[in-house]
A and B are shown apart, each in its own frame.
Chain A
Amino acid sequence: VNTAAQDDITRYVEAVRAALADLPEATRDELLEDLPEHLAEVKADGAGSLTERLGTPVAYASELRTTAGFVGGFPDPPPRPDRWAEFRDPALRQLHQLDSKVGPLFGYARASEFLVLLRPAWWVLRGYLAAMVLLLGGVLGSIWLGRRSSRGLKEWPRYALYAGSVVLVLVAIGGFLNADSDARGADYSDVNYGGGDPYGRVQDVFVYDQNGRLVPGARLFDQDGQPIRLGIPSCYSDVDGDSTDAPRNQGYPYCPSSAPFQTAPNAAAPTPSESVAPTPTPTTTVTPSPAPSVRPSPSAGPSR
């Protein structure tokens, strides 16, 4: 048998073996153990390749399967599927895909590269979590110690316990004092409705000139020429409990009668018929007070 014939036989046997790949390995090996020698006889008997003489290896394997049956007893049970691997492998694949997909959002090839940078934050968090576990352990230990010490300890451990407790109480008093002063000094203004807007509670705007006279119909603009809108364009009268809407284009104040500072009668209501006082009177009662009393003045402004 020359080398070429041997190669043909080897190739054919391997192809048949591949076609029987679903059989248990031991069964297949047993079934095919004499096949090379058998095919050598076929080869020696005539010319032509084995495929020409016997048909395709797949057909040969199929014929072998139907005539030989499952030799060697029952086929081995199929290998038990690894349930954990079944669950884990697709999950790992998905995680890998997600890793490469999410990475570019942070400007990295993979999200894991970004997460590696966050490791120091994790170390801090880990320490915090460990401290919480220790806290729980301390609480439980203290309770245990408390229940046990009631049954009586020897002399020096009891004194050690007392001394430790005194130290802890002192530390706690210090902590409570700090917390108490922090609480007293807390600035509540920032929890007001309106957040950080200091003009959130402004209802009306009163403009006074340098002589302390109320300017009627004043308009406010910012640096871009945009009108500054403050307050509520509505006027509530304490006298009759009625409210009237003031048109936006009227200007400030909406309610001249509610002016916080009363001015001298000659300056308070600068009507067109009245001449402006030539000299500011020093008696003008423009006295800014930290807590202005908003009080309607019947003398100021047009009475209705």
Chain B
Amino acid sequence: MTQLLKGVLDLAVLAALREEDGYGYDILRRLRAAGLEDVGDASVYGTLRRLFNAGCLNTYVVPSVEGPHRKYYALNAAGRAELQRSGKIWHGFASTMDDLVGGRGTA
């Protein structure tokens, strides 16, 4: 996991839960499907635990037919506010970096 990814992992996990609730491994698959292939399983699990403890997430348990029950994570109001705040910071930061680094393919 790169240092860059580590810094935005909170935002990535919050964003993965924006449209739909999910359990740990489900969220990992979403992040990888979105292109963050380097993200580690432990990083997602640890980040979910921390966001939950910070009060950004709610959890509920869904029994599963084929295996153990699944703990689903859902954004709560604080989580959505955090996603919005962090998203704004990210957009500002990303455009600054785009300007700094230059147009695509010209670097």
The answer to whether A67 and B23 have CB atoms under 8 Å apart is no
Q: Does B88 sit within 8 A of A, measured CB to CB?
A: no
- The tally of CB-CB contacts under 8 A between chains A and B is 76
What CA separation (Å) do A67 and B41 show in the bound complex? 11
Instruction: Say which one of B44-52, B89-97, B98-106 lies at the interface with A.
Output: B44-52
The answer to whether A67 and B68 have CB atoms under 8 Å apart is no
List of B residues within 8 angstroms of A71 by Cβ: 49-50, 53
**Nearest-neighbor residue (CB-CB) of A69 within chain B:** B50
The answer to whether A67 and B47 have CB atoms under 8 Å apart is yes
List of A residues within 8 angstroms of B69 by Cβ: 37
Q: Does B71 sit within 8 A of A, measured CB to CB?
A: yes
Q: Which of B61-95 contact A (CB under 8 A)?
A: 66-71
What CA separation (Å) do A80 and B29 show in the bound complex? 45
What CA separation (Å) do A31 and B48 show in the bound complex? 10
Instruction: Say which one of A39-47, A131-139, A190-198 lies at the interface with B.
Output: A39-47
Q: Does B36 sit within 8 A of A, measured CB to CB?
A: no
Q: Does A171 sit within 8 A of B, measured CB to CB?
A: no
Residues of chain B at interface, number, CB under 8 A: 24
Query: Dominant SS at the A interface?
Result: helix
Q: Mark A33-58, 1 if CB is under 8 A from B, else 0.
A: 01111101110110000000111000
Query: Dominant SS at the B interface?
Result: helix
Q: Does A130 sit within 8 A of B, measured CB to CB?
A: no
Q: Mark A9-52, 1 if CB is under 8 A from B, else 0.
A: 00000000000000000000011001111101110110000000
What CA separation (Å) do A71 and B51 show in the bound complex? 9
Task: Report if A64-B23 is in contact (Cβ < 8 Å); known contacts: A1-B68, A31-B49, A41-B70.
Answer: no
Q: Which of B14-28 contact A (CB under 8 A)?
A: 23-26
- Smallest CB-CB A-B distances: 6 pairs: A67-B46, A68-B46, A41-B25, A63-B42, A64-B46, A38-B24
Given A34-B49, A60-B41, 8 additional A-B pairs, CB 8 A: A37-B68, A37-B70, A40-B67, A42-B25, A45-B25, A55-B40, A61-B42, A64-B46
- Can you report 13 residue pairs joining A to B where beta carbons are below 8 Å apart? A1-B67, A1-B68, A31-B49, A34-B49, A41-B25, A54-B41, A60-B41, A63-B1, A63-B40, A67-B43, A67-B47, A68-B46, A71-B53
